[in-house]
Structure 1
Amino acid sequence: MVDRRDVGSWLAGPEAVTGVTGYPGERLERPETGPGSLARPGRRFASVLIDWIICLVIARGFFGTQTLEHPAGSLIPVAVLLVENILLVGTAGFTVGQRVLGVHVERVVGGGPIGLLRGVVRAVLLVLVIPPLTMGWDVDRRGLHDLISGSVVARN
């Protein structure tokens, strides 16, 4: 039999199920607000949107509008997004959109850029649109791409 506590637990969020209280990032020894705190989902989504627009412009500039109209050509902006994330996040720690919105990607342990290998893993999962589907599972609001690559998106 289902009782009110079973139904209410999912409404109360992950804290009701995990028993973890506090703010996102507390387990990772991050501040609640300000520099070094975890970036909120809205800021993260907006940075991906900026990056996506930039990748569309780049793809259109290099390959023209006719290429993008074909089904296989529609993957070109995705490939540009993949390369952008691998190179920029892996080396500098941020994409153009992340830089504009004042966030960066760093390793959970020790900080700093995540490196190219972790950047590849993170970027592949990102372009497969898996992170938005998994961000609610973690109490720190980290998507699967962050969990597997050992990274966090923090505020500058």
Structure 2
Amino acid sequence: MMNERSDIYPDFEDEQDKACEDATSEREYASLDQAFEAHRIPMENRDLIRRAVALAGVERYTGTASYIKAHRNDGGPTLRIHYGYTNGFRSADEAASLGDGVQPWRSARTKLWGISHPVNRTSSRAGGQKQVRRDYGVCPECFTTYHPNGTCGCV
């Protein structure tokens, strides 16, 4: 099932980066692993990203302040690898072919698609992570739940 999630994974910064691209310098990386380390990409995301760059036929990597650019050897759109998502896939089918559980979403980049990584900073908004409720116990006098500071309604 395809989800249109550009509202959850805004890549409006990509548009800002286009305007600033000439003014800023890109760093060239010798390898994808070097780029991962420079951008502090979580280990849990690296396998999916490796599959994505292999599928896209990436020949070299550069980086901006906010993402890794994976340049395709056929001159196609670059994959932009962020902490929690990658965009730049030519079609939803290309993105979905990365494996089970990958749900492509439309990128703000014209006619391109993106995917979410297993670890991302937007999971709670997307419903991926749930808030943990702690059990602080119940007061035997008033039968209300204790507050985190150990007090209840009868104090």
Q: TM-score, normalised by structure 2?
A: 0.27
More helix by share: 1
Q: Which has the larger radius of gyration?
A: 2
* Higher RCO (CA-CA < 8 Å; seq separation 6+): 1
More strand by share: 2
